[in-house]
Amino acid sequence: MEKKLNFKVCGLPAKYFIPFFIIVMATVYLGFMPVVKIYSNDAGKYMATSFIMTIAYLMAVGGLFFWLGNTIPIVNNYLGGACLLPLIGASFLNYVGLVPQELVNGVKVLMGGGFQDAYIAMLLVGSILVMDRKVLLGATARYMPTILGSQVFALGFCMLAGLVTGYGIPEALFDIGAPCMSGGSGGAMTTLPALYSSLSGTDMTPMAGKFLCYASIANVLAVVLAAIVGSVTAKMKGLNGNGEILCSKKAQESKTEEKEQKRLGTSADYVALGSGIFMSFCLYLLGNILGSLPGFGVIPGLAWTIILGIIIKFTGLLPDQFADNCVYSMNFALRALLPMLIAGIGINSLKFSTLAEYFSPGAFVVIFLAVFGAMLGAMIFGKLSGLWAYEAGVTAGLCCCNIGGSGDLAVLSAANRMNLLAFASISTRIGGALMVIWIGLLYPLFH
């Protein structure tokens, strides 16, 4: 007997979702979009859709692509479809002109105005406070060697790819591979060009677009690899922790004890949910303050948020009954906001035009081997350090090879490992900084 197709988008079955979807599309394509004037020092005055229009569109389109990605065979299990389709699909709709400019501007305002940061704050704080204290301490101590091992493999695979493709080691390493591992789109667009300019004495700023293109390709490959390797390792004993990162008997015992006193993942107490959102945002703001203070700025604000969460978890400064509220806000973000966030990233951050402009089979091979090397190195060193290989590969490896915070969300969504966002953020921020140091040391040796 064939399995019945279960259609549910935005929590609604087809007969209810379709009429609401039609309302959104009619508003967009029949000229009824509510818009506002935005004043910018850079772009002057322009029109953008209101938050209501922008959010309704992203929920409708992102939700539909998310459902399709979860439903289409092979795409759902092996290609990270639930995350990849909203990302690629929304970006493609924009590329072919099906997203009006006012709506593109509205998405830009929403994402640039901090919606993504709000999502990350809820996930980051909740993902730390939900973890067992002993597991969190043990995993953190083993994580940095895993990142370093991953980067050694990634750099080695880049060099190998340069020889295989004929690009040569310098171009493959510095012009193609490095932008994929330099701490996200910001590193690719600003940090690397500035570093190369200072090292070479030539203005490398015009390379920013090319570097961002390669980082975007790496981001898509990281999403796909996270899904494929997750499906493969799930059937292999000793490689996949099913969401746990620390591979030890004590960790398993702690997990068993935690399950016995299992807290609810959500609550009907909406005041508790609101307090969780409030506390998550406040810890994010405090991290931002610390990252801006003299002497503290060497650690980014987001990394300070992680540190604050770890301190709170270790010391018990916040009783579990209140810490649980942050877990509620994390689950709210995961279950209600993820499809629209991924669609927003697709429209705002992933540009089909640049992908087509700089893409070549040789560059693709270099990028693929760099991303694969990063994951393989993280899996090997993670296993040696006492971490589950797959979880280490995703967080310490693949989350070093994407476009930053939004890339982390995409990769973890494809891997179904959103609870490991704290580790992914360490990889993107601290790992990105370490990679820039690596590149700074290697560049003079090849030029």
Where along the chain do its domains lie? 14-112, 114-446
Asked if 148 and 337 touch (Cβ cutoff 8 Å), the reply is: no
Query: pTM here?
Result: 0.70
Confidence (pLDDT) at 82: 67
Confidence (pLDDT) at 189: 62
Confidence (pLDDT) at 162: 93
Confidence (pLDDT) at 154: 92
Confidence (pLDDT) at 268: 66
Identity of the amino acid at 148: L
Confidence (pLDDT) at 206: 73
- Between CA 95 and CA 346 the distance in angstroms is 10
Tens-digit pLDDT string for the chain (447 aa): 345 678 889 889 999 999 999 999 999 999 999 999 887 776 678 899 999 999 999 999 999 998 998 788 766 655 556 667 887 889 889 989 999 999 999 999 998 888 878 887 888 788 788 777 776 676 677 888 899 999 999 999 999 999 999 999 999 998 888 888 877 766 676 677 777 887 788 877 777 767 877 888 888 899 889 989 998 898 888 888 888 888 765 545 444 444 434 555 566 678 989 999 999 999 989 988 998 888 887 666 777 887 888 888 888 888 888 888 988 888 888 788 888 988 888 888 777 776 667 778 899 999 999 999 999 999 999 999 889 999 999 999 998 888 777 788 888 988 988 888 888 887 877 777 778 778 888 888 887
Confidence (pLDDT) at 53: 96
